[in-house]
Each structure stands twice: as structure tokens, then as C-alpha cells.
Structure 1
């Protein structure tokens, strides 16, 4: 009986020594202290390189989800420009005879059709009235005639412009003269939340401007719904070359996690850090050579929020 008790005591001592020396591992294989019983992981935090983010939090943080897909990487040149009325579809309406304006029918900003009455003028010579009519469909962008005022044939009373197309005049600096040619594709962004507008360079000036040391390159741009308003500045991206790739993601999707380049792939409400090998890139997209398949959904915008959530989850496990 004494011998049995002695053996049991020795066994307990040996087990206690092993546990104290760190050789007895219980719970997590990564050496971290396992969660205490009865304490589940907080909502929004996952283990390892994963994190759960529900729909409400997804919307609140502005995380944008996109599909990995084939894409086209473009070498491009960013140009600054100003929107102008298309001078080929702009008409100045000038009185035929000097006289007094007796009636005004249209104001600046009004849309007119060809033949619409704009004003009537009483001729100083005959004392009879004649009509000023719109010669084209368009928008009145200027009016220099007022009721009761003298109207001269030397000054336009109205200017009507067809704004269904506009000119965008870009400034090209001398270092880029050789890169910009008539027929090149340029992407114009109206910066109104809608899709960019693709068009062509229609004219490159052979003459430079002394004060800016630049030359003009002009694009004739379709202006459906009057998205481009004359007088405003705009940017255009001139496309110089294009390379198709099998899988591309937005550049804003890439993050660095433990010295790895990762994309956060979504599966249900769980985002997982997926290590990727990247290839070429342009200003907006990056080629993915390995690690991501077409059709997989990923965090394309505000992906740094997911990185922060994973970091918070890792920190909470260490305490």
C-alpha cells in the first residue's frame, strides 16, 4: 500500500515538472494560451488570417467587393484640360439692322429648337419689327440683348451652342509631344460619379503657348445628358499601350501582412488573407500571376479595414 502511494506521488511530481518546463503542451499548437472556457471569440474577429465582417459593418466601413477577372493593363499619360463649346456647332445671332429690342422670348440656359423665336427688334431705318430666330437646335449660352436696349449689327445678341458634343482642350508639355498623336484614345472622367467617357484626340496643335510652354491637344467628346459643362477643368487619361492579363485586381486591394502581399478573399461573411504573386500593373489595376482565380470575390476598396480587424483579432488572442 505504501509502495503504491509512493509511486503515485512520484508520477504526479514528474508530470508537474514536465508541465513547468514547457514540455507538456495543451490546447493551441501555436503556443498561445487557449481561450478560457465559456469565453467565445468576439464578433468580427476570426482566427489566424481570417476575419468575419457582417453586411452592416461592410456597408459602414465602405469596403467595396469586386470579382477577380481578366483585365487590360494600360500604359497611359494623364492630361489636364478645360471643357469648351464645340465651335463648329456654335452660332452667334446678330441683328440684321440696328434698332431697339421690343420683345425678349429666351434667356441664358434655355434650350431652343431651330426656328424658335428669340427676340424682336424694331429697325431704326424702317421702324418695322423683325424677328431673331434660333438657326440650330441647342442651348443659349450667352445673351447681350435686353428689352428696350439698342441692338447693333456689330454685336451678337444671342449665342446658341449645340452641347451634344464639346471640345476638351488638353495641355501637353514638350517632354510628351512625341507621345500624343491624332487618333489616340483618351478616357475623360467627368468626376460626377458616372462612367468615364472614351473618345479620340482629333487635333494636335503645331504651335506652342509661350506662357505655359505647352501645346494643345483637342478631343471632341460626346456629351450625353450634359455631363461636361464648358468652363470646367477636367482630366483625361491618354492610352498609349494595352496588355491583356488573365487575372487582374484593383491596386487598392493589395495589402502587406507579415511581409506577404495579400488580397482579402471573401467567402460568405468571412474574409481570408490570400497570398498572391503579382506581375505588371498600371495606375488602377494589378496583374495576379498566382494565388487568385477568376470569379473569386475580394475586397477591392478600403481593404486596410480588414487588415486592421485581423490585427485586432491577433492582439486579443495574445492576452
Structure 2
């Protein structure tokens, strides 16, 4: 009985000692050495790679040029720009109808040879086809009256042809018509000679032109009138039949500091531009915006001329900085 009492007292004392140890230990102390190492190693490293703030409170993040280039990010330098106030229109490219020729046979007969097809670039007097006359049964040549491009062919080998239907249509595509549809509410603001920026939507930039013709009558179906721009097309960039957009320049304004429109992002409810701060550091610089057009935005405060900033795909930097903020929290 005495030995049993001793054993019970020893067990109780051991339990009390363990409880006392736990009660005296800090509530936030790590449970093991491995947890201490994880907090001081991996977690601390991730926090260092995340977003931080400079002495002015602006958010900053480290991202290398190599990583940004792989994501399609492009830099530019802030500087002066000319902003334009514009009206936008839709239009279509057409062959210059003053340089389009329909080539018809002189005498009815049979097409014995076809020398050119649609898309061929030809010179003046090039042979198009050979026709056997029904009257004399002799073969005569059908030649190109102008140089240009064959845009249509309406005869086939062995087919009967006549002077009633054109065999070929040739167009000189070195100049192109751009027919713009102008709505009635905008007609009073459009004049011949006005400067227009044509966007063929091919990634090669706008083409500057001017309105050379404004139709005196409108189309009842669309309630629009045609304004025409004639553009040079020496390399064949413009193709008849394709749609374009155009901007009529109404006014111009020069500003001392501007950035590309794609550079502006909203971060933590503030307009920012991501500015390179030396090395691999990018700063979300709060900015005060001014006037803007389709391409540029005036910066009234926050950026100086010559500052290097993210001009395209700035959303990539925003996403990385947001990710860093989340890891930091």
C-alpha cells in the first residue's frame, strides 16, 4: 500500500512539472528549431523579394530587365509630346477609280492564249491575251493600256469573247482612295484640306493624309456622307476592300511631360506609372494626370523629363507588385 502511494505521487509530480513548463513558455514561441529556421530563412527571403516602400512611401519591387522583356514589357523615356483632339470615323480602302481601266477585245472571237492572271503586276503594253477574230480568223494581241495590277479577269482559254464585256480590269495601286463615312452631326466639323490620321490596323502605325473631297450628297441607308483621302501606296501596304479607322485632327496641344497611355495603372486607388529607379528596382510613382489623347497622357506631377518608365504591358508589373504585397501581408 505504501509503495502504491509513492508511485501515484511521482506520476502527479511529473504531470505538474510538464504543465508548469508549458505555462511558463511564451505563447508565440516556435515549437521546434525547424520552424525557427523556416521563419528566419525562406519566409524572410520571400518578404525581401516582395513589394516594399521607399522613404517617401511609394511602393517598389525588384524585377530584372530579362524577366520584363520575356513578358513583353517595353520601356520609354518621359518627355514632351503633342496631344491631338480628334474625331473618329470608319472607312474603307478603294482603288483609285481614276486609274482603273477595263480592257475589252477590239473584235469578237475566241481566246487562244491567256498571258496574265489576277494579281499580276504588269507594265504598259504587256501582252494580256491572244484573240482569234471571228471576222478575219486571224489572231490579234490584247495589250495593257496602262501599267498596274490585274484586279479582275473575266475570260478563260477557249472562251468566246466580245467587245461588250471587259476581259481584264487593271488598276494602278500606287495611290489609294480612303472613303470615310461621316455622320450628319459631324459634317459641319469636316472640311476639305483637314488633316486625317489613317490607321490600317496592320501594326505599322498611322498614315497622315488630308481630305481632298467631301461628297455633296449623302447615303439614305446609312445617313452618312463620304469624305475621301488619297494616299500614296508605293509598297502596296494598302489593299482595296479592307476597312480602316481614321482620326480627324481638330486641335493640337503641346505638353512638357507625357507618357504612353498604356503606362497608366491604378494601384491602391492611385494613378501610378512604374519608373525604373536604377538597377532592377521599379517604383510605383503616384502621378497627377492632365490632358490626354489616344496615344499619350500629360503628367503634371510625379515624373520628370528623361525618367525611364514602363510604357507597354505595365499590367505585368502591377500584377507582380500586387503579388508581392500579398506575400508581405
Tell me the TM-score range normalised by the shorter chain: 0.7 to 0.9
Mapped partners of 1:240, 1:152: distance in 2: 52
Displacement of 1:42: 5.8
Provide Cα deviations, 1:165-197, integer angstroms capped at 9, x if missing partner: 111111111010011111111111122221221
Displacement of 1:309: 1.8
8 A Cα contact 2:51 2:328, kept in partner: no
Mapped partners of 2:230, 2:281: distance in 1: 47
Taking the TM superposition and a 5 Å limit, the aligned residue runs for 1:133-212 are: 133-212=143-222
**Residue of structure 1 equivalent to 2:45:** 40
> How many residues end up aligned between the 2 structures?
285
Q: Quick check: 1:282 aligned with 2:293?
A: yes
Q: Quick check: 1:123 aligned with 2:133?
A: yes
Q: Quick check: 1:294 aligned with 2:299?
A: no
Mapped partners of 2:156, 2:268: distance in 1: 72
Displacement of 1:284: 2.2
Provide Cα deviations, 1:34-83, integer angstroms capped at 9, x if missing partner: x9544324685341211121233213322221221211111111111111
- State the superposition RMSD in angstroms: 1.9
Larger Rg: 2
**Residue of structure 2 equivalent to 1:303:** 314
**Residue of structure 2 equivalent to 1:22:** none
Moved >4 Å (runs of 4+): none
Provide Cα deviations, 1:213-258, integer angstroms capped at 9, x if missing partner: 1101111112232121111111111111111111111122112233
Provide Cα deviations, 1:86-138, integer angstroms capped at 9, x if missing partner: 11111111111111111110000011011111111112222222111112221
Taking the TM superposition and a 5 Å limit, the aligned residue runs for 1:1-319 are: 37-38=40-41, 39-41=44-46, 45-48=50-53, 49-267=59-277, 268-318=279-329
Task: Name which of structure 1's ranges 286-295 and 309-318 shifts more when overlaid on structure 2.
Answer: 309-318
Mapped partners of 2:135, 2:47: distance in 1: 90
**Residue of structure 2 equivalent to 1:17:** none
Displacement of 1:141: 0.2
Q: 1:54 to 1:202 in 2, by over 3 A?
A: same
Task: Name which of structure 1's ranges 167-176 and 194-203 shifts more when overlaid on structure 2.
Answer: 194-203
Mapped partners of 2:156, 2:73: distance in 1: 54
- Which runs of 5 or more structure 1 residues have no equivalent in the other structure? 1-34
Mapped partners of 1:308, 1:120: distance in 2: 67
8 A Cα contact 2:50 2:328, kept in partner: no
Q: Secondary structure at the match of 1:271?
A: strand
Q: 1:173 to 1:50 in 2, by over 3 A?
A: same
**Residue of structure 2 equivalent to 1:6:** none
Q: Secondary structure at the match of 1:226?
A: coil
Q: Secondary structure at the match of 2:257?
A: strand
8 A Cα contact 1:43 1:52, kept in partner: no
Q: Secondary structure at the match of 2:156?
A: coil
8 A Cα contact 1:44 1:309, kept in partner: no
Greater helix share, structure number: 2
Normalized against structure 2, the TM-score is what?
Answer: 0.82
- Which runs of 5 or more structure 2 residues have no equivalent in the other structure? 1-37, 54-58
